[in-house]
Amino acid sequence: MEGLLVILAIIGGVIGLFKDKSTDKTNKKPYQVPKPTATPSGRNYQAERSEPAVHDNSRTSTIIEEQRDNQIEQLAEQINTSTREMQKKLSHDAIIGNTLRQPKNIDYQKAAMKKQVRKNLTRKGLVDGIIMAEVLGPPRSRKPYRSVISERTK
């Protein structure tokens, strides 16, 4: 049975090799030599082309700078409006010299902690806690295992 599987694997590999070689031969395209480009004779066209390119570059650079300035102004306005909205959302305390009071996150944290403790006070949660105490606790070399009977006699 095992010999049959080995023979089938070898036959499949040989067929795969021949199949790949036949597809490679049909898919190959003849290499085409690129046609040489004609070079202009007479006047030097390069000097004429460089001057308008410099002019276009300066125009595009000024346009880019203007767009960047507009974007910076828009971002500054968005930041200012968001800070104003946040200040409006915070409660205002007029007694302590017009200072802004931060909302208390401590209550939310305590509520979340209580919820987590309640969730883990199930049978499975307690078992997991004991296992983690064993895993994270001191090693047995520092706290060797002693039987309950020997502990009672002491």
Q: What is the pLDDT of residues 78-95, one digit of tens each?
A: 888 877 777 777 655 555
Who contacts 120 (Cβ-Cβ below 8 Å, separation ≥6)?
126, 128, 129
pLDDT confidence tier of residue 60, bands split at 50, 70 and 90 = confident
Domain spans, the chain: 52-101, 106-153
Q: How far apart are CA 89 and CA 98, in angstroms?
A: 15
Count H helices, E strands: the chain? 5, 2
pLDDT confidence tier of residue 3, bands split at 50, 70 and 90 = confident
